[in-house]
Amino acid sequence: MLFSVFIKSKKDNMNASMIWANSSVKDVERTRKFYGQLGFNPNGNNNDPRLASFKFGKDDFVIHYFQEGSQIDNYLPSWPIHSNEIMFTLSAESKKEVDEFYKTVKDAGGTIINEPLRDKAGYYGFVFSDPDGHKFNVLLMDNM
C-alpha cells in the first residue's frame, strides 16, 4: 500500500491538504465488484479499466486500486503479497453493525482472517482480506 499526499506548502511547514492510498490488484473488475458489494461508494465514475477507486468512512478517505502492471507497481511489493505494509481499520457503531458487515464480507467473497470476537482489550471486531489479500479490521470500540 502506498500513500500519496498532496502537499500545499506554507512558509514554515508542510501542510497535507489531501491524503489517499494506492494499491495494486490482479483484477480491477473483481475489485470493483467486491467493494461495490460491501457498499462503498465509488470515487468518480470508476469506468477506467485500469483503476477502481472507492471512498471509505465519513471523511471519504480514498483508496485507488490500480491494475497489476501499472506504474504503481514500481513502488509496491511484488506478487504474491505475503504481508501488508498497512492494515486499514473500519470503525463500527455497534456489535450488530460488525456482525452485519461480517456477513456482507463473506457473501462478497472476502477472506475472513479471524471471526468476530471481543479481544483482551475489550474491542469487538474481525479481520478480513479482499480478493488480493489487502487486510481490513472492522472494529467496535464501545469500551472507551
Q: What is the pLDDT of residues 80-116, one digit of tens each?
A: 555 656 778 899 999 999 999 999 999 999 999 999 9
Residues forming CATH 3.10.180.10 domain(s) in the chain: 87-144
CATH of the structural domain 87-144, one choice from 3.40.50.300, 3.10.180.10, 3.40.1280.10, 3.30.1490.100: 3.10.180.10
Q: What is the pLDDT of residue 8?
A: 46
Residues 134 and 105: their CA atoms lie apart, in Å, by: 13
Q: Is pLDDT larger for residue 9 or for residue 31? A: 31
Structure confidence by residue, pLDDT tens digits, 14-29: 555 677 888 889 999 9
Which residues lie across from 41 on neighbouring strands? 55
DSSP 96-121: HHHHHHHHHHHHHTPEEEEEEEE-TT
As a whole number, mean pLDDT of residues 37-60 equals 91
Q: Which CATH topology does 1-69 take?
A: 3.30.720
Q: What is the pLDDT of residue 85?
A: 65
Q: What percent of the chain has pLDDT over 70?
A: 81
Residues 35 and 29: their CA atoms lie apart, in Å, by: 10
R_g over Cα of the chain? 16
Q: Is the pLDDT of residue 57 over 70?
A: yes
Residues forming CATH 3.30.720.120 domain(s) in the chain: 1-69
Structure confidence by residue, pLDDT tens digits, 63-84: 999 898 887 777 676 655 556 5
